[in-house]
């Protein structure tokens, strides 16, 4: 996890792709592990009583589109029946369900699309008026994948007083994009 | 304490356009489930569905339902359109792709009205999306981000969502019978929903109705299973929403209750535990899904519409298709309308759950 006097109090990057020297990222074996590990890193920086109920805003535009497109392709596959795991795998919430359950996290969660990092950060800062909010962006790497698309995950603690650059949430995307898990 | 009030509601259901048609159907115990005229997917094996009885030529159904529900909600709120500084919250599976066949167009989106594009946030929380959308909008208002937020969505019968529900064996061969001992699963439906939320003083200043508030919410992703319901998780979710509202009473529940044996059983156990904790012996619990089918992402917007009328008229609609209720010492499960307290402040809970561990409860209060 990286810290900066000018940046968020807690910030982490995880990926299933290539890790370069330009970004302090942790590499994970799967998208689920990357989301869980990256959120854990940021939640660990909060006091336990705050972390237990902190709101989480997840920017998941590309992921929700990928999950829906993957499901549609599964439906269209000749000779293969759609399975219950395809139905549950359609849901973007599966990105964070296991993390939340394992951690005992009970905070409100909002999985949003059609929102870029700058817009998302404005929303998170406004919603942080009564306490910190964790913001997370999940960017899938292989949009054609029928299994795990791989990802770059960034997460940060957001407070109402923050003024850091939302581009931080896009850290690692240029370097890691195109790398398959 | 700032409150967020409901100033307008609109729906399209298999009963037709409008909250009035929905309410009449519910109170008369009718079901709109049956053989469809238009939905012809080969994945359907004769199960009844809830199909909207009209179309708009040249407009995809999902988009038409969204548009009609939005128009009704804005009209009810006394607004000529979505205010320029309002937040627009769309709910659904994923944003429209702008490509693909009709089935894909009815699976994704619907497209955001062009004039609302820049201020739209799209929320995706499976069948609880409407509830999460309302909780998100309420939070944006309470945070001072906006004075007004509109939450809306549409759903149209389509092959993809039908296959998804069939794959988990959730679809009933017969009309859904929520809360009934003979229930065997869900029936899918289609339609749209829209709710206008405003900061209370903003609504009062322009003379809009401010009697009905979204007073509390609990919306969690991390505490449930991928598909199966869990009574303990639901109970905790309902109690958290009541605590968020500071509610000291509970007069009515509009339940998620889709008609699956497992889901309804767990929800009833949870609501029974809540009633026990509150010392309630006759808590009315209704579901609309035996009448309209399950409208998936927008189902909670229909539930809020029914709950709003229930609180304003002092009437629990009852649950269409319910003839042999699950036995309960503390819950009032009825197939016909029953009275709610009138002329006193009342509190209702609306529950909404979905795959992926999405669990939500909204608390609505009304001051007559």
Which of A56, A72, A94 is opposite residue B226, by nearest beta carbon?
A94
Whether the pTM exceeds 0.90: the reply is yes
Domain stops at, among B185, B205, B225: B205
- Mean pLDDT, to the nearest integer, of A79-90? 94
Chain-chain contact of A100 with B221 (C-beta, under 8 angstroms): yes
pLDDT single digits (tens) B218-270: 999 977 788 889 999 999 999 999 999 999 899 999 999 999 999 999 999 99
Q: Which domain holds residue B349?
A: 216-366
Rounded Cα gap, residues B153 and B137, in angstroms? 14
* B361 & B228 share domain: yes
Question: Does the residue B292 lie in any domain?
Answer: yes
Tokens standing for residue A99:
């993390």
Query: Is the pLDDT assigned to residue A20 strictly greater than 90?
Result: no
Cβ-contact B50, B298 below 8 angstroms: no
Tokens representing A160? 């109402």
Is the per-residue pLDDT at A4 higher than 50?
no
Give yes or no: residues B181 and B226 share one domain: no
ipTM more than 0.90? yes
Q: Can you list the residues of chain B whose pLDDT is less than 70?
A: 99-101
> Could you tell me if residue B191 is inside a domain?
yes
CB B299 within 8 A of CB B354: no
Judging contacts by C-beta atoms under 8 Å, the chain B residues touching residue A88 are 168, 226-227, 355-356
How many domains are there within chain B?
Answer: 2
Which chain A residues are within 8 Å of B219, Cβ to Cβ? 108-110
Beta bridge pairs of residue A5 = none
Is B19 contained in some domain? yes
Mean pLDDT of chain A: 90
Chosen for mutation from A113, A125, A129 (greatest number of chain B CBs closer than 10 Å) is A113
Q: Are residues B183 and B244 located together in one domain of the fold?
A: no
Which pLDDT does position B6 carry in this prediction? Answer: 98
Is pLDDT of A5 > 70? Answer: no
What confidence category does residue A138 fall into, taking pLDDT thresholds of 50, 70 and 90? very high
Contact B104 A108 (CB under 8 A): no
Return the SS3 of A42: helix
Domain stop point among B135, B170, B205: B205
Statement to judge: residues B10 and B150 lie in one domain: yes
* pLDDT one-digit tens code per residue, B66-94: 999 999 999 999 999 999 999 999 999 99
Looking at residue A181, its pLDDT comes to: 37
Segment (H or E) for B216: strand B212-220
Same domain? B152 vs B257: no
Q: Does B23 touch chain A (CB under 8 A)?
A: no
**Same structural domain, B192 and B220:** no
CA distances to B118, B179, B203, B284, B318 from B251, in Å: 40, 18, 25, 7, 14
Cα separation, B133 vs A162, whole angstroms: 25
Q: What percent of chain B stands above pLDDT 90?
A: 90
Record the tokens describing residue B185, joined without a space. Answer: 């699963």
CB A42 within 8 A of CB A1: yes
Domain final residue pick, B205, B239, B259: B205
Per-residue pLDDT band at A3 (split at 50, 70, 90): very low
Res B208: pLDDT: 97
Indicate if B33 and B147 belong to the same structural domain: yes
Q: How many whole angstroms separate alpha carbon A52 and alpha carbon B96?
A: 34
Where do runs of H (alpha helix) occur along chain B? 19-27, 61-76, 102-107, 129-142, 159-167, 200-205, 231-245, 261-278, 289-292, 299-313
* Segment (H or E) for A63: helix A61-76
Both structure tokens of B357? 């561990």
Cβ–Cβ below 8 Å for B217 and A108: yes
CATH number for the domain including B347?
3.40.47.10
Which pair of tokens denotes residue B281?
């012996």
């Amino acid at each position: 996890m990286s810290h900066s006097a000018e940046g968020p109090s807690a910030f982490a990057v995880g990926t299933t792709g290539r890790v370069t020297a330009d970004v302090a990222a942790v590499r994970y074996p799967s998208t689920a592990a990357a989301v869980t590990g990256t959120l854990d890193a940021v939640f660990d920086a909060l006091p336990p009583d705050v972390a237990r109920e902190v709101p989480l805003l997840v920017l998941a535009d590309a992921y929700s589109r990928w999950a829906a497109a993957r499901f549609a392709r599964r439906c269209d596959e000749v000779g293969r029946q759609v399975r219950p795991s395809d139905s549950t795998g359609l849901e973007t919430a599966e990105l964070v369900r296991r993390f939340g359950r394992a951690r005992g996290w009970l905070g409100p969660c909002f999985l949003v699309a059609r929102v870029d990092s700058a817009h998302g950060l404005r929303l998170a800062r406004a919603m942080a008026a009564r306490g910190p909010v964790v913001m997370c962006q999940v960017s899938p790497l292989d949009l054609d994948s029928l299994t795990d698309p791989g990802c770059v995950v960034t997460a940060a603690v957001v407070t109402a007083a923050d003024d850091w650059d939302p581009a931080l949430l896009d850290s690692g995307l240029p370097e890691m994009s195109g790398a398959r898990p | 304490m700032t409150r967020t009030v409901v100033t307008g509601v609109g729906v399209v259901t298999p009963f037709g356009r409008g909250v009035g048609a929905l309410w009449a159907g519910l109170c008369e115990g009718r079901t709109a489930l049956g053989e469809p005229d238009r939905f012809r997917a080969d994945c359907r094996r004769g199960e009844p569905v809830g199909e909207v009885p009209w179309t708009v030529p040249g407009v995809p159904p999902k988009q038409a339902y969204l548009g009609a529900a939005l128009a009704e909600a804005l009209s009810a709120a006394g607004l000529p359109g979505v205010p320029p500084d309002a937040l627009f919250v769309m709910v659904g599976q994923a944003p429209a792709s702008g490509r693909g066949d009709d089935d894909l167009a009815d699976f994704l989106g619907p497209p955001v009205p062009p004039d609302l594009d820049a201020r739209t946030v799209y929320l995706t929380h499976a069948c609880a999306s409407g509830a999460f959308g309302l909780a998100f909008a309420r939070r944006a208002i309470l945070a001072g981000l906006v004075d007004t937020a509109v939450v809306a969505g549409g759903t149209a019968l389509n092959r993809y969502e039908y296959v998804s529900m069939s794959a988990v064996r959730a679809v009933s061969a017969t009309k859904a019978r929520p809360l009934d001992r003979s229930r065997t699963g869900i029936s899918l439906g289609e339609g749209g929903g829209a709710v206008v939320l405003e900061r209370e003083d903003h609504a009062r200043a322009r003379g809009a109705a401010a009697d009905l508030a979204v007073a509390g919410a609990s919306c969690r992703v991390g505490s449930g299973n991928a598909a199966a319901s869990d009574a303990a998780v639901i109970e905790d979710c309902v109690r958290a929403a009541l605590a968020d509202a500071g509610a000291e009473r509970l007069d009515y529940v509009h339940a998620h209750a889709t008609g699956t044996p497992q889901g309804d059983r767990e929800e009833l156990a949870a609501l029974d535990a809540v009633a026990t904790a509150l010392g309630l012996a006759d808590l009315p619990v209704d579901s609309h899904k035996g009448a309209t089918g399950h409208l998936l992402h927008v189902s909670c917007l229909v539930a809020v519409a029914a709950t709003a009328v229930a609180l304003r008229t002092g009437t629990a609609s009852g649950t269409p298709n319910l003839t042999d209720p699950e036995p309960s010492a503390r819950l009032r499960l009825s197939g016909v309308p029953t009275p709610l307290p009138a002329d006193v402040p009342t509190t209702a809970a609306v529950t909404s759950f979905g795959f992926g561990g999405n669990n939500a409860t909204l608390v609505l209060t009304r001051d007559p």
